[in-house]
Chain A
Amino acid sequence: MSRSFGLDELRILLLALRWTILLAAIAFLGGGIGGVIIATLRVAPSRALRFAAATYIRLLQGLPLLILLFLVFFGANMIGIRTDAWTAAAIAYALYGSAFLAEIWRGCIQAIPAGQWDAATALALPFHLRLRLVIAPQAARIALPPTVGFLVQLLKSTSLASVIGFTELTRAAQMINNVTFQPLIVFGLVAGLYFILCWPLSLLSQRLEERLRYAR
């Protein structure tokens, strides 16, 4: 006799939603820090650094997230780091986020007219100050909408962490489906929860983009 979907199951799903949000937050934070570093290297004066950063981005963007998760999960074990699903997921998502955010922010940095770089150079500012004081504040404005858009992508992609045994929303749903056999209700509801999380962010991203267009 199987259980049917009830309030208890709904509670389990809502509790699992915490881990989805927390994983996305960690990924966004770790990816943001990594993204700033990689984006900086990507526009650095040194050609070797630019090339290294570009290769990093290309490799991580050419790899399915699932494979990256497995590589980190099994790879960390080999170099002696104890891997539970949490650590592996946090590292993998931070790597994933850093590559995508770096690519988004590189585009925004390069959208700033070259004259701004020249002007900053004429003021005898060194590279890191040119970037920090002159370019970054202008780039941040145009970077906001795509960054919020990427947050949606990140939230959705946390569902893949279920595959390495991280119990977030999608894995909780699979476990509940295994005892209730009501996949339409369970996964329909889970889709709804993701939608409630993602849709406002999508709208915000759109709104910010429109505002930016009118500001010009």
Chain B
Amino acid sequence: MDYVFQFDFIWQSRSELLRGALLTLRLSAETMVLGLLLGIVGAMARTARFAVLRGVATVYVELIRNTPFLVQLLLIYLGLPHIGLRFTPNDAALIAMVVNLGAYATEIVRAGIEAVPHGQIEAGRALGLRPLRIFRHIVLMPALKAVFPALSSQFILVVLGSSVISTISAEELTAIANNLQSQSFRPFEIYFTVGAMYIAMVLAFEAIFAALQRRLFPARHA
């Protein structure tokens, strides 16, 4: 093996790589916030009294969870313009990521909601709390607390999955890597570096989630 590793080219392209990483971080963070909101709405529908709402939410969850993200992305980016909905690559990517995460988040949040004992809700009613406050304080917050670890690992998958949008956009980290690769013919060094950047981002998000958990849901001292 007489291959000589050369990382100079990567150092010269550092600003481009950083820009790509920042877009990956921004898209991932936006997806986490919007996807969780969609997941909460989805979980409310999934546990609703009306069968129609439950049905719609179930169909959404099953369709998204049993088809590949890449196909969903291509449907939104290439398919929707044919019925008059045209998006920029970044918008199409964000929509696809949010719709995808929303389905997984729906199932996770639903599991948390169903784990709340019914007596708690009755206790809330007995105290004369209004339905919205009961949902927020007695159902949703304990549910989120219970499923926070599952949510965090789903959020990590968002960061990793965002590399798939390189197939339609030319700006996030993996897409930047693809561009650099075709200019430099140093593919291994580039994907090695970018792989390390993804691992660093995943570790950073894990640290943030651990801190968030301590802050939002401190362990109770009895």
- Among B48-56, B76-84, B122-130, the stretch that binds chain A is B76-84
B68 near A67: Cβ-Cβ < 8 Å:
no
| A137 beta carbon closer than 8 Å to chain B | no
Residue positions of B touching A, CB distance < 8 A = 1, 3, 62-63, 65-72, 74-75, 78-80, 82-83, 160-164, 166-167, 174, 177, 181, 187-188, 191-192, 194-195, 198-199, 202-203
A187 near B74: Cβ-Cβ < 8 Å:
yes
Nearest chain B CB to A180 CB, angstrom units: 12
Enumerate chain B residues within 8 angstroms of A191, measured Cβ to Cβ: 63, 67, 71-72, 75
> Which 6 pairs, one residue from A and one from B, show the smallest C-beta to C-beta distance?
A64-B163, A74-B187, A159-B68, A198-B66, A183-B78, A62-B199
> Which residue of chain A has its CB nearest to the CB of B185?
A74
A188 near B79: Cβ-Cβ < 8 Å:
yes
> Which residue of chain A has its CB nearest to the CB of B3?
A78
Q: Do A187 and B1 contact each other (CB < 8 Å), given the known contacts A71-B191, A195-B66?
A: no
Encoded as 1 (CB less than 8 Å from any B CB) or 0, chain A from 173 to 189 comes to: 11001000011100110
B192 near A63: Cβ-Cβ < 8 Å:
no
| A51 beta carbon closer than 8 Å to chain B | no
Enumerate chain B residues within 8 angstroms of A187, measured Cβ to Cβ: 71, 74-75, 78-79
Enumerate chain B residues within 8 angstroms of A184, measured Cβ to Cβ: 75, 79-80, 82-83
A63 near B71: Cβ-Cβ < 8 Å:
no
- A160-B68, A174-B74, A184-B82 known; 15 other A-B pairs, CB under 8 Å? A64-B161, A64-B164, A65-B163, A67-B174, A67-B191, A67-B194, A70-B177, A70-B191, A78-B1, A78-B188, A79-B1, A80-B1, A183-B78, A187-B74, A198-B67
Enumerate chain A residues within 8 angstroms of B202, measured Cβ to Cβ: 62
Option from A59, A160, A199 in Cβ contact (under 8 Å) with B62: A199
| A190 beta carbon closer than 8 Å to chain B | yes
Q: Do A63 and B195 contact each other (CB < 8 Å), given the known contacts A183-B75, A187-B75?
A: yes
Nearest chain A CB to B85 CB, angstrom units: 11
Alpha-carbon separation in the docked complex, A179 to B198 (Å): 36
Enumerate chain A residues within 8 angstroms of B71, measured Cβ to Cβ: 159, 170, 173, 187, 190-191, 194
> Which residue of chain B has its CB nearest to the CB of A185?
B79
> Which residue of chain B has its CB nearest to the CB of A157?
B68
Q: Do A67 and B198 contact each other (CB < 8 Å), given the known contacts A74-B188, A183-B74?
A: yes
> Which residue of chain A has its CB nearest to the CB of B160?
A64
Q: 8 A-B pairs, CB-CB below 8 angstroms?
A: A64-B195, A80-B1, A170-B68, A173-B71, A183-B74, A191-B71, A191-B72, A202-B65
| A162 beta carbon closer than 8 Å to chain B | yes
> Which residue of chain B has its CB nearest to the CB of A199?
B66
Residue positions of A touching B, CB distance < 8 A = 59, 62-68, 70-71, 74-75, 78-80, 152, 156-160, 162-163, 170, 173-174, 177, 182-184, 187-188, 190-191, 194-195, 198-199, 202
Q: Do A59 and B66 contact each other (CB < 8 Å), given the known contacts A71-B188, A159-B71?
A: no
Enumerate chain A residues within 8 angstroms of B163, measured Cβ to Cβ: 64-67
Enumerate chain B residues within 8 angstroms of A174, measured Cβ to Cβ: 74
A65 near B160: Cβ-Cβ < 8 Å:
yes
A195 near B75: Cβ-Cβ < 8 Å:
no
B68 near A64: Cβ-Cβ < 8 Å:
no
B3 near A64: Cβ-Cβ < 8 Å:
no
Alpha-carbon separation in the docked complex, A158 to B68 (Å): 9
A65, A80, A187: residue with the most chain B Cβ atoms closer than 10 Å: A187
Enumerate chain A residues within 8 angstroms of B78, measured Cβ to Cβ: 177, 183, 187
Enumerate chain A residues within 8 angstroms of B72, measured Cβ to Cβ: 191
Option from B167, B188, B194 in Cβ contact (under 8 Å) with A75: B188
> Which residue of chain B has its CB nearest to the CB of A184?
B79
Nearest chain B CB to A204 CB, angstrom units: 12
A160 near B164: Cβ-Cβ < 8 Å:
yes
